Amino acid sequence: MSALWIAHVTVHDEAAYAEYAKRATVAIADHGGVFLARGGAFEQLEGTPRPRNVVARFPSLKAAHECYHSAAYQEALSYAKGASERDLVIVEEIEP
């Protein structure tokens, strides 16, 4: 079954985060990930709002996990650390 990365982000350093996004895009694609939402308008219904919300679909929970722990993504992530506050979860999708 496919899996989703769901991230809620507040960016403090736009330049550093842009470098993260550029590098992360490649790492995510290399693991079969595709973006379903990346920023854009949102409505916060509960919890603490973060102005950037991202959803990426991976072919499996394993692919999503391996992407996060890959050398390429960890290198990308080094640009986001200190440049943002992030919450990220991997969720397995249910079959339609």
CATH code at 25? 3.30.70.100
Q: What is the DSSP letter of 78?
A: H
Using 50, 70 and 90 to split pLDDT, how confident is the model at 95? Answer: confident
Instruction: Name the residue range of residue 82's domain.
Output: 3-92
**Counting beta carbons within 10 angstroms of the beta carbon of residue 80, is it exposed (0 to 12), middle (13 to 18) or buried (19 or more)?**
buried
Residue type, position 45, single letter: L
Counted domains in the chain: 1
Residue 41 CA to residue 32 CA, distance in Å, equals: 25
Strands 52-58, 84-92: pairing kind: unpaired
Q: Residues 14, 54, 81, 76: is their CA dihedral positive or negative?
A: negative
pLDDT tens track for 9-50: 999 999 999 999 999 999 999 999 999 999 999 999 999 999
Mean pLDDT score of the chain: 96
- The answer to whether the CB of 36 falls within 8 A of the CB of 55 is yes
